[in-house]
Amino acid sequence: MNVPEAALDICRALANRRRATTAAVVLGCVLLLAGGTSGQKVNTTAPFSAAAWTADMHEYGYPDHPVYHQWIRLPIFHTDVFYLGDQEVIETFVTRELVKDLQRRADPHRALPLKLHAVVLDAASGKVQWQMAWSSDYMRVGLVPRTNGGFVVFLGDRLEFYSADFTFRSELKLPAIPVEETDLWFSSSPSGRTMLIRYTNEEQTRCVIVTGEAISVQQDNCELPARTAISDEEVVTAQVSKDNVGRVQSKISIKRLQEPWRTLCSDPGVAPCNNPEFVSEDTLLLWPGRGDLLRLVSDNGKTVFQAAKRGSNIVNSYSATTGLLVLPLYAPNARTAAFAAAEVFDVHTGKRIFEVEQGKGEQAIRDLQGLAISPAGDRLVIEGDGIVRCFDLPPRHQ
């Protein structure tokens, strides 16, 4: 606590008075010091320009124009930027590669049309440490951090596993259906230990569950619906239908593997009850297809936190260790640029503790691609239009 020098001078003067009682001196100093510090306000709102550091990904291959294969990954990964421990920030993006000649798909040496990039930044300064890249046939590819400090690279038909020091550990080939015939879905548990891959074509649906670094379940004619999310212990999915008068109804069902489904919520009744994703092993974020609220709920359906919806919340970040949730006021879609600000909430108190917003005269962010909270809960990273910005969060009193 920074104490004003003037307040200390008054305390010294009181203590030197002969007639001043000990109680009077103590009381007077407490009041003066409290008053001297009460006016020191912590800034909880900042413009884009107040970033502690920025890093321009265009210098490292980020495409100049927004493209379909950037935002198509967001419903799966929810952010293109994340912390890997306290020391590194990783920014990811996809580029389409020029393939000059006709190629046979069966050729193992053919050039692949897409490339996933990872740019590793120093978390304190934003300086680029190094780059990594992987080729793929698939657009819905990305990186998944793991609680052991390492990460997994999902490339559609295979997984690559890396240690916290970026050392390659292993590769796991997946029983993929050919890409031109496939609707692909991927979900990872918040710990990164368990992953669900769902391949669908006109003839079959194949589900693969990976635990650790090995396939634990492979099932053709899979019963898990589209957009099923997974944790280390459970799966969850939403069903949307219309009643006989055309009103939209939704229901979320959850279960442990090999056990029957149970209803988590239904709407009409509880809203929102749609678009579930696990943000910790026992907590889900429900962001609405309609309505004005989004909710954090436990896996028994109890509401932990709720906030006003400000557009799509496909892009989000939640830290179970710090209890911080960061949401955009409204996020972009394929046709409109709508990002205005990012709000950070303390889920334990229900209060908003910080907001980053477009300042007067600042250029708007057209395409929001990522939000991330540091493991210590002291920094917020935002990625939009290929620019990574880092902001210091105000200290919280425990």
Domains of the chain by range and CATH?
5-38 (no CATH), 45-392 (2.130.10.10)
pLDDT of residue 309: 63
Which residue, chain included where needed, has tokens 């990522």?
Answer: 370
* Closest-CA residue to 157 (of 188, 134, 136): 136
* Closest-CA residue to 266 (of 250, 280, 244, 278): 250
Which residue, chain included where needed, has tokens 């090999």?
Answer: 258
Q: Residue 118 above 70 pLDDT?
A: yes
CA 63/CA 116 separation, integer angstroms: 12
pLDDT of residue 71: 74
**pLDDT band, very low/low/confident/very high, at 367 (cuts 50, 70, 90):** confident
Give the DSSP letter of residue 180. Answer: G
Q: For residue 145, what are its two tokens?
A: 């951090």
Which residue, chain included where needed, has tokens 């291959």?
Answer: 61
**pLDDT band, very low/low/confident/very high, at 332 (cuts 50, 70, 90):** very low
pLDDT of residue 325: 92
pLDDT of residue 93: 94
CB 272 within 8 A of CB 289: yes
pLDDT of residue 316: 82
CA 249/CA 81 separation, integer angstroms: 34
Residue by residue, DSSP assigns 350-378 as TEEEEEEEPPTTPPP-S-EEEEEE-TTS-
**pLDDT band, very low/low/confident/very high, at 58 (cuts 50, 70, 90):** very high
**pLDDT band, very low/low/confident/very high, at 32 (cuts 50, 70, 90):** very low
pLDDT digits (tens, 9 = 90+) for 301-322: 999 998 876 666 678 889 888 9
CA 277/CA 77 separation, integer angstroms: 10
pLDDT of residue 108: 60
Q: For residue 115, what are its two tokens?
A: 């490339």
CB 120 within 8 A of CB 128: yes
Q: Residue 6 above 50 pLDDT?
A: no
**pLDDT band, very low/low/confident/very high, at 39 (cuts 50, 70, 90):** very low
Type of residue numbered 42: V
Average pLDDT in the 381-389 region? Answer: 93
Q: Residue 180 above 50 pLDDT?
A: yes
For 47-85, what is the HEC assignment? EHHHCCEEEEHHHHCCCCCCCHHHHCCHHHHCCCEEEEC
Alpha-helical segments (H) within 39-192:
68-71, 74-77
Give the DSSP letter of residue 98. Answer: P
Question: Higher model confidence: residue 172 or residue 250?
Answer: 172
Which stretch, 144-148, 248-252, 292-296, 379-383, has highest mean pLDDT? Answer: 379-383
The overall average pLDDT reported for the chain is: 82
**pLDDT band, very low/low/confident/very high, at 35 (cuts 50, 70, 90):** very low
Distant-in-sequence, close-in-space partners of 216: CB < 8 Å, separation ≥ 6: 209, 210
pLDDT digits (tens, 9 = 90+) for 269-310: 666 788 899 999 999 998 775 556 788 999 999 999 988 766
CA 147/CA 84 separation, integer angstroms: 9
pLDDT digits (tens, 9 = 90+) for 183-208: 889 999 999 999 999 999 888 899 99
Helix (H) or strand (E) holding 279, with range, is strand 276-280
**Count of CB atoms situated within 10 Å of the CB of 112:** 15
Q: Residue 37 above 50 pLDDT?
A: no
Question: Higher model confidence: residue 292 or residue 166?
Answer: 166
pLDDT digits (tens, 9 = 90+) for 333-358: 444 555 778 899 999 999 999 999 88
Assign 45 to helix, strand or coil: strand
pLDDT of residue 2: 42
**pLDDT band, very low/low/confident/very high, at 3 (cuts 50, 70, 90):** very low
CA 26/CA 135 separation, integer angstroms: 70
